[in-house]
């Protein structure tokens, strides 16, 4: 492969990582917005989502350009198809951050009701999964990628706990159903972010080991 | 491109369409299971999901093989990258059918509570969107693909209506929060299936028009 090709590949790697960093920032903002019920911050997440959308389109066009121009094979080909899919997951994570922001806008309108569930810690765990999955991509670290897959179970359990707690809260506050449903949905959006981080980790494992491990139980 | 290549491409097209048909069947089963609160049918959806998972992996490996062996360009390259993404959406639609099935298993355990929302008609609309998006792919029908994108708004509105109705139902039946939350989640899963069908339609439009139309408002 010519020098140009490797330069293009490096550029693509930088691009997907910088999209990753932007999306991480969105998840961090969502985490902070949850902690402080901060509707201004939520507003910022919603209004800046178009930046992620634009970048996703750019990355995909870049991938297609490289595929068409250089017709890479083996590990390079696998890398580019992995980027196409990771790109997609990153954009959807940002969408989930927007969904969380909408939930926060709703719940911050009224008075804060008692609900003894630690969203902040759930959000932190989810954010850490995303960070680890991107680190695994940068450093081609298959062990770290496997760790992300294991962490997903933990977040699933936390989400199930939120579900049970919301059910009880609604029983005690039937007039506040909408409020607690919004809390439940925030928990589900976090859980979906964790799912997407797991998808990214699985792509990294595939990239390194050449084996599709999706749908396998850990 | 050699004859073999076109044969492989035809084979790939048949494969993605037969995966599409299988996934359509799952959505149809979910629709029926909703209508009749049929937990046996729900059980079938859950137990047969591994078939879809296996087929998704096969289709992706096929795509990578074709890319590596024949190094296609232009419209052929675009077709294969579209298949990689559509394959992903189809598998996730089947996952949503499984999520719906789990919801049905829960609600069919207890007695049927009054809830005047037409899930069946929502499910039918969603199923029709999926069918149209796959027809658009087979026939390279850009007009049909655009229609699917427009239908998505309708399903979003129906989902918003379900949300409002669940809120009211919970107010009147605070002890049945879990039941109504499950109904709400079924509506959300249907809405996500519609989102994935829209993704497929957008891929078809891109395939035909060579333009990424995601994130554009209709």
Which CATH number goes with the domain that contains B125? 1.20.58.220
Condensed to tens digits (0 to 9), the pLDDT of residues B172-182 reads 888 888 899 99
**Where in the sequence is the domain holding B191, given as residue range(s)?**
3-209
Q: How far is B158 from chain A (nearest CA, A)?
A: 17
CB contact under 8 A, A85 and B84: yes
Mean pLDDT is lowest, of A154-158, A208-212, B103-107, B132-136, for: A208-212
Do the domain assignments include residue A214?
no
Residue A60 is predicted with a pLDDT of 92
* Confidence check: pLDDT of A212 > 70: no
Mean pLDDT is lowest, of A1-15, A168-182, B201-215, for: B201-215
Q: Which two tokens stand for residue B64?
A: 């990578």
With an 8 Å Cβ cutoff, the interface of chain B facing chain A consists of 50, 53-54, 56-57, 60-61, 63-64, 67-68, 71, 73-74, 77-78, 81, 84-85, 88, 163, 166-167, 170-175, 177-178, 181, 184, 212, 214-215
Q: How far is B178 from chain A (nearest CA, A)?
A: 6
Q: How far is A85 from chain B (nearest CA, A)?
A: 7
With an 8 Å Cβ cutoff, the interface of chain A facing chain B consists of 50, 53-54, 56-57, 60-61, 63-64, 67-68, 71, 73-74, 77-78, 81, 84-85, 88, 163, 166-167, 170-175, 177-178, 181, 184, 212, 214-215
Band of the pLDDT at A211, cuts 50, 70, 90?
Answer: low
Could you tell me which residue, A114 or B102, shows the higher pLDDT?
Answer: B102
CB contact under 8 A, A60 and B212: yes
Q: How far is A206 from chain B (nearest CA, A)?
A: 11
Do the domain assignments include residue B190?
yes
Provide, as residue numbers in chain B, all residues whose Cβ is less than 8 Å from the Cβ of A67.
67, 77, 81
Do the domain assignments include residue B61?
yes
Residue A214 is predicted with a pLDDT of 72
Do the domain assignments include residue A16?
yes
Do the domain assignments include residue B105?
yes
Provide, as residue numbers in chain B, all residues whose Cβ is less than 8 Å from the Cβ of A77.
64, 67-68
Signed CA dihedral, B205, B26, A197, A180: sign only: positive
Beta carbons within 10 angstroms of residue B74's beta carbon? 9
Do the domain assignments include residue A194?
yes
Nearest chain B residue to A173, by CA: B174
Do the domain assignments include residue A200?
yes
Do the domain assignments include residue A218?
no
- Does residue A88 contact residue A56 with C-beta atoms inside 8 Å? yes
Q: What is the largest CA-CA distance in chain A?
A: 68
Predicted ipTM of the assembly: 0.81
Among B172, B174, B181, select the one facing A184 at the smallest CB separation: B181
Task: Please state the separation of Cα B119 from the chain's center in Å.
Answer: 16
Mean pLDDT of chain A, nearest integer: 91
Provide, as residue numbers in chain B, all residues whose Cβ is less than 8 Å from the Cβ of A57.
212, 214-215
Band of the pLDDT at A93, cuts 50, 70, 90?
Answer: very high
Calculate mean pLDDT across residues A128-140: 93
Q: Which two tokens stand for residue A212?
A: 């599709």
Say how far apart CA B78 and CA A65 lie, in whole Å.
10
Residue A123 is predicted with a pLDDT of 92
Say how far apart CA A183 and CA A170 lie, in whole Å.
11
Calculate mean pLDDT across residues A13-39: 92
Calculate mean pLDDT across residues A152-169: 93
Residues of chain B with pLDDT under 50: none
Say how far apart CA B210 and CA A61 lie, in whole Å.
10
Say how far apart CA B110 and CA B115 lie, in whole Å.
14
Q: How far is B213 from chain A (nearest CA, A)?
A: 9
Q: What are the b/e assignments for A84-112, b being 16+ CB within 10 Å?
A: bbbbbbbbbbbbbbbbbbebbbbbbeeee
Q: How far is A53 from chain B (nearest CA, A)?
A: 7
CB contact under 8 A, A171 and B166: no
Count the domains in chain B.
1
- Does residue A151 contact residue A133 with C-beta atoms inside 8 Å? no
Residues ≥6 apart with Cβ < 8 Å to A148: A129, A132, A133, A136, A197, A198, A200, A201
Q: Which two tokens stand for residue A57?
A: 């389109």
The C-alpha torsion from A146 through A147 and A152 to A154, rounded to 10°, is 150
């Amino acid at each position: 492969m010519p020098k140009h090709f490797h330069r293009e590949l490096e550029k693509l790697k930088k691009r997907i990582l910088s999209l990753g960093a932007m999306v991480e920032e969105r998840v961090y903002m969502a985490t902070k917005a949850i902690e402080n019920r901060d509707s201004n911050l939520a507003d910022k997440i919603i209004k800046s989502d178009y930046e992620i959308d634009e970048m996703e389109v750019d990355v995909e066009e870049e991938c297609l350009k490289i595929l068409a121009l250089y017709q890479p094979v083996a590990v390079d080909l696998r890398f580019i198809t992995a980027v196409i899919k990771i790109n997609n997951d990153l954009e959807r994570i940002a969408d989930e951050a927007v969904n969380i922001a909408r939930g926060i806008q709703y719940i911050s309108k009224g008075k804060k009701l008692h609900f003894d569930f630690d969203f902040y810690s759930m959000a932190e765990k989810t954010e850490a999964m995303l960070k680890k999955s991107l680190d695994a991509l940068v450093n081609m670290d298959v062990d770290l990628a496997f760790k992300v897959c294991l962490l997903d179970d933990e977040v699933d359990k936390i989400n199930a706990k939120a579900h049970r707690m919301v059910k009880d809260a609604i029983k005690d506050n039937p007039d506040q159903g909408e409020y607690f449903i919004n809390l439940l949905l925030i928990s589900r959006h976090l859980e979906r972010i964790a799912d997407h981080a797991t998808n990214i980790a699985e792509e990294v494992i595939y990239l390194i080991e050449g084996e599709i491990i999706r749908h396998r139980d850990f």
